[in-house]
């Protein structure tokens, strides 16, 4: 609507009704359909910000495995209507929306260690929550805040040699150790303390392992989706 010169009007005297069918002729689980439609919208309208939708669904941007169909007609319509860019929409219409253009990798983080797997290569899942690695070397963990008014993004921080999740802006303001050197298939090392994030066996933990910060022993980490080259 906004990108193509339309408008949304508030009409106090209007009446809107929705009549729901007694029987829905489609599947009860709409996840696959909603995801497909979201990707179609992203590819047609969101330009370089389409990565935000892929991140939200934790889907690789290249070779997603999801058939979104032919969108050439929709792209042609956008061009014909001379619609503005999605960046214009974010700046002019919804400046409260938080941008994550500095994200270079996202998804599930896996650790690999010959010592932990007793000589065999195996992957150990770090967290069930998604992880986002940024170009300024921060590791965000968990759900990302949708607007700039929400200051609840959590960053991995080295606090007295222990890994902690702390609100990112607070950690930055307090000059805490929240910057990490990381390359795909390499260690995760705190830039200031030089300690590495590693998995250590712990039989008292329900998973059998715990996350620690210690002198680097060669444990390697990988993240499922990479948008841009990871450089140390």
What is the C-alpha to C-alpha distance for residues 180 and 168, in angstroms, rounded to an integer?
13
Which secondary-structure segment (H or E) carries 210?
strand 209-214
Look at residue 118 in the predicted model and tell me its pLDDT: 45
Q: What pLDDT does 122 receive?
A: 39
Range of the domain at 65: 31-92
In a domain, 112, yes or no: yes
Residue 18 confidence (pLDDT): 82
Is the residue at 20 inside a domain? no
Q: How many domains does the chain have?
A: 2
| pLDDT in the model for residue 123 | 45
Q: Are residues 163 and 126 in the same domain?
A: yes
pLDDT in tens, 88-104: 999 999 999 999 999 99
DSSP of 124-174? EE--SS-EEEETTS-EEESPPPSBTT----EEEEEETTEEEEEEHHHHHHT
Same domain, 73 and 186: no
Q: Do 62 and 150 belong together in one domain?
A: no
- pLDDT, residue 146, reads 87
Cα 59 to Cα 57: distance, rounded to the nearest angstrom? 5
Are 157 and 87 in the same domain? no
Domain with residue 205: its CATH number is: 2.80.10
Kindly state whether residues 46 and 114 are assigned to the same domain: no
The per-residue pLDDT for range 33-66, each reduced to its tens digit, is: 899 999 999 999 999 999 999 998 889 998 889 9
What is the CATH classification number for the domain harbouring 54?
Answer: 1.10.8.460
**Whole-prediction pTM value?**
0.83
Q: Distance between CA 178 and CA 133 in Å, rounded?
A: 11
Is the domain of 128 the same as that of 192?
A: yes
The encoded tokens of residue 5 equal 């010169």
Tell me which residues of the chain have a pLDDT lower than 50: 114, 116-124, 126
CA–CA separation, 98 vs 23, rounded Å? 39
- Residue 136: burial class (beta carbons within 10 Å; 0-12, 13-18, 19+): exposed
Of the residues 64, 92, 120, the one at which a domain ends: 92
């Amino acid at each position: 609507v906004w990108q193509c010169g339309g408008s949304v009007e508030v009409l106090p005297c209007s009446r809107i009704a929705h009549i729901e069918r007694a029987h829905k002729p489609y599947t009860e689980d709409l996840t696959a359909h909603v995801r497909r439609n979201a990707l179609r919208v992203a590819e047609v309208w969101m330009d370089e910000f389409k990565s935000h939708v892929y991140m939200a669904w934790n889907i690789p941007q290249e070779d997603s495995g999801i058939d979104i169909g032919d969108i050439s007609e929709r792209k042609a319509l956008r061009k014909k209507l001379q619609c503005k860019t999605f960046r214009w929409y974010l700046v002019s219409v919804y400046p409260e929306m938080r941008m994550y253009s500095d994200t270079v990798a996202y998804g599930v983080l896996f650790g690999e260690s010959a010592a932990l797997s007793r000589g065999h290569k195996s992957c150990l899942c770090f967290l069930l929550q998604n992880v986002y690695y940024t170009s300024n070397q921060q590791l965000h963990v968990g759900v990302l805040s949708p607007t700039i008014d929400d200051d609840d993004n959590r960053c991995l921080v080295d606090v007295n040699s222990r890994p902690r999740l702390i609100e990112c802006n607070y950690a930055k303001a307090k000059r805490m150790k929240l910057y990490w050197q990381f390359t795909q298939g390499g260690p995760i090392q705190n830039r200031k303390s030089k300690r590495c994030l590693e998995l250590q066996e712990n039989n008292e933990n329900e998973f059998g392992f715990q996350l620690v910060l210690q002198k680097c022993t060669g444990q390697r980490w990988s993240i499922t989706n990479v948008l841009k080259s990871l450089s140390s």
